[in-house]
Amino acid sequence: MKALMHDRYGDADLLEIRDVSEPSRDAAEGEVVLRTEAVSINMADWHMMTGIPRIMRLVVGLRRPPRPIPGTDVAGVVVAVGAGVTDLAIGDEVFGQTDGGALAEYVAVPAERIIERPVLAGSGDTPVGADEAACLGVAAVTALQGLRDKARVRSGEHVLIIGASGGVGSFAVQVAKHLGATVTAVCSTHNVEQARALGADHVVDRLRDDVVALARESNTRYDVIFDNPGDRRLGALRSIMQPNGRYLMVGGPKGGWIQPMPRLLAGMLRWRFVGQKFITFTAAETRADLLALRELYEAGVLRSVISDRYTLDDGAAAIRQQGDGHARGKIVVTMGDPNASG
């Protein structure tokens, strides 16, 4: 089978398509083998490719990435089922997450991390396309866990989402609205209409206006700030939060040896003795959350926003674009025609 691979940390030029052995069709106990149809790209794929920030190499591997094949968010068709798997069968169209290795024509995945794709009302028994389903992974889980579980957004609260047009941000707008919040989205000019279409009550064009200045002028105070880029001064953001507000750091500055550690330490130290909360976390995918996301998708609460599609042969370009930080929604790699939606 074809797979996108790399043997050491570096830029996307190190990624190459290779022929490797397929996973055994005699699937291991508790696992299924998928014929991959689509993979959505995340910043984690860029971090694993580059090994940046370098401090992460102490955990995942000093000289090379832990898995030579990148990719975690996957959608495909079950082609083999291991012993003990009772809720999936050969031919099922599924989505979920792996620990890496998704950017290949076939991948073995623990069955507990895979569920059947959403089926939209009025579509009969036809699941959504693989490209849309593949997006319901890291980005969607991050938005759901961050706003529902960590920030504990309540109906009627005011939520500011900085970086509202990217993969995580586009889902965050939708999740916050589902939780009953009044949402202010911050994005660049060409993404303003997208943010509105996703349900944002107010949209700030970051290229024209400064959200902190606008909030101060209007005496607006936010209950929750969901900060995806993580590159604004913490003191300025604190000044536009409620006294008991929650700041959720989702992303952080790129580059260097220890980024975003300085920001994490500053937040933990400076906010330790105030009523406002500094929250940072890494999403941990659970089967319950995959089921919750599927239910929200089927109810029309969520939709995947896809900016670009690539074939596996161009998978390196997909990860490079993700690292540039200007994706509008999600970037998806498909195993066939990149313009096909199913």
Domains along the chain with CATH numbers: 2-137+286-334 (3.90.180.10), 139-280 (3.40.50.720)
Angle between helices 43-50 and 315-324 (to 10 degrees): 100
Residue 311 Cα to chain centre, angstroms: 20
pLDDT for res 231: 74
Q: Residue 72: how many CB atoms within 10 A of its CB?
A: 24
Please name every residue paired with 81 in a beta bridge, in sequence order, or none if there are none: 32
259 vs 310: CA distance, rounded Å: 29
Provide the token pair at 295: 């239910």
Q: What count of residues does the chain have?
A: 342
pLDDT of residue 342: 46
Mean pLDDT per 10-residue section of the chain, whose length is 342 residues: 95 95 96 98 91 78 86 98 98 96 98 96 86 97 97 98 96 99 97 98 96 97 92 89 95 54 64 82 90 96 96 97 88 75 46
Task: Output the pLDDT for position 270.
Answer: 67
Distance CA 147, CA 139 (A): 12
The C-alpha angle with vertex 271 and arms to 273 and 242, in degrees rounded to 5, equals 95
Cβ–Cβ under 8 Å, residues 308 and 327: yes
Which residue bears the tokens 């689509």? Answer: 38
pLDDT of residue 258: 45
pLDDT, position 262:
62
Determine the pLDDT at residue 250: 87
Q: Identify whether the C-beta of residue 29 lies closer than 8 Å to the C-beta of residue 84.
A: yes
- Are the C-beta atoms of 100 and 71 separated by less than 8 Å? yes
